[in-house]
Structure formats: structure tokens, C-alpha cells
Amino acid sequence: MGLNLNDKKAVVAEVSAQVANAQTIAIAEYRGIEVVHLTVLRKKARESGVYLRVLKNTLVRRAVAGTAFAGLADHMVGPLIYSVSADPVAAAKVLSDFAKTNDKLVLKAGSYAGNVLDKAGLQALASIPSRDELLAKLLGVMQAPVSGFAGCLAALAKQREETAA
């Protein structure tokens, strides 16, 4: 059973709200994927803070009209799943990681910072470490000199104990 006009307006409003806060939209064709696998994909998306939904293309075209993502409308053809995130990398990463293990999910296109990305561009965006990963690496780099200094002090204290004994 199709959506009535009020349901369609509600979907467009919901998607518009997600798009207003988004930095990235990634789309993929999901033809032939079993429900069990889609459930796994949705779970990963929720964990990553990604809005993931199968939507009618015409409704999404209305939601992105007049936004930085309007150029993506040309790629909205066929059965698509939409991944939307405020994190610049998360939307692409969720779909790209899932596509590596499930060949029935085919990356189509995406949009980041007003630029429409093809499949290769979407995969390149997905390969960038997330904000949390970058912060963890930065913290590791910042802790390295401190832990090295602490190791030197411990070695010096041990050497003094050995010479004193």
C-alpha cells in the first residue's frame, strides 16, 4: 500500500531535517539483499550515528531540492538506500564497509561539501579515518614523549639503585 499525501509530506520533512544537519549523503543500490543483511547494515549505521533508510527517490529529490545535495538528484534512479551523516566520513564508510562483504550492495554516488562524488570518490571518502580515529592517533602521538620520558626516569632510577647496591 502506498503512502498518502500526509505520509509523503512527513517523510520529506524528516529527510529534510536530516539533510539540513548533514555533511555527507551516500547512496547505494540494494537490489537482492536479504532482510537479515539489511538489519546488520542498519545496526552498524545506528552505531556510527548515520541516518540510513530506503526511500522513494521522488521524496528524496524534494527533500534535497535547494540544498548543497541537489546535484545528487541525477543519480537517484532505481532501488536505493540513503545514508546521511553529520560526520563527513561516516555515511560513506558504513556503506563502503558493508559493500566489501556483500556484493549485492552497489555504491552509486554521494555528495560531500556540495560536490557530487562518483563510486570511486565515495570509496576514497570512506577510506579517510573518522574523527574519532584521528583524535585517538593524535592522543597517541601526544602521549609518546611523556611515556618515553617516564621510561627514561624509571631506567635512571633503576640504574641508581643498582649502583648504590
Q: What is the DSSP string of 112-152?
A: ETTEEE-HHHHHHHHHSPPHHHHHHHHHHHHHHHHHHHHHH
- Domain 5-128 bears CATH identifier 3.30.70.1730: yes
- For 72-121, the pLDDT digits (tens) are 989 999 999 999 999 888 999 999 999 999 889 999 999 998 889 999 88
The per-residue pLDDT for range 121-137, each reduced to its tens digit, is 888 888 888 777 778 88
Q: Where are the beta strands (DSSP E) in 42-119?
A: 51-54, 80-85, 106-112, 115-117
Each domain of the chain, given as residue ranges in start order, spans 5-128, 131-165
pTM of the model: 0.77
Grid cell of 144 as nine digits: 609518546
